Amino acid sequence: MLLAHADSHPGLRRQNNEDAFLCRPERGLFAVADGLGGLQYGEVASRMMVELLDSASDEQLKDLREFVREASFQIRDKGRELCASSIGTTLTLLLASDGSMQIAQVGDSVAFILDPSSGFRQLTREQTLAQERILAGDKNVEAYLHHVLTQCMGQPEEVVPDVISLPLTEGSRIILCSDGITKTVADEHIEEVLRECESPAEVVKQLIDMANRAGGPDNSTVVTVFA
């Protein structure tokens, strides 16, 4: 039985919350979507993403690459209806069942796991220009490049998500979060919270509180799953 909790906070410097989340432990279905603040209607894109996911059938979710690709086109078309040049959102999606899990990733929201055997690690690759430069060996990456996405849901071009399949070990703890958390709270503090908290709700509250104590520069969203 999966235990899960999720919450979102606008932060201390933003009037709007453009993050959205999905937390459906009964389906093993979880997601974080962070609407792009640099584009119009970021909150529309993120909420549409979680609504599409929530209404998807089990059959549609058998092929996450195809589901994500089609969802991106629908978000793109919604942007055109709104007469926006484009709208966009990140997506970090977790589908868990029967001792296994799949993660689909577009953008720079992040998934972490604390596994009883292999410890704490980041599961997803941030799709930013900074990460591309780092992987290419560049040791002097400009700070602003960490905010420049190489992909987002709703872009005119076809989206190609990163999709990974992994075993889900009993006792594992998983976090999905927007960059309002990861760009404010250090990885070692995320790990500490995940290790020490006794419930998913406590993890969520502590991480959002930590982000806000650090100034709350962005919307902060956390989904926590205990297997």
Is 34 strand, coil or helix?
A: strand
DSSP annotation of 156 reads S
What are the start-end ranges of the E strands in the chain?
3-9, 19-24, 29-34, 91-97, 100-106, 110-115, 119-122, 162-167, 173-177, 220-226
Task: Tell whether pTM > 0.75.
Answer: yes
What kind of architecture, by CATH, is found in domain 3-226? 4-Layer Sandwich (3.60)
Please give the pLDDT value at position 86: 75
Q: What six digits make up the tokens of 31?
A: 């997601």
* Matching residue, tokens 């709270």: 185
Spatial separation of the C-alpha atoms in residues 205 and 5, rounded to whole Å: 10
Per-residue pLDDT tens digits for 161-211: 999 999 999 999 999 999 999 999 999 999 999 999 999 999 999 999 999
Give tens-digit pLDDT for 137-169.
777 767 766 777 889 999 999 999 999 999 999
C-alpha 73, offset from chain centre: 19
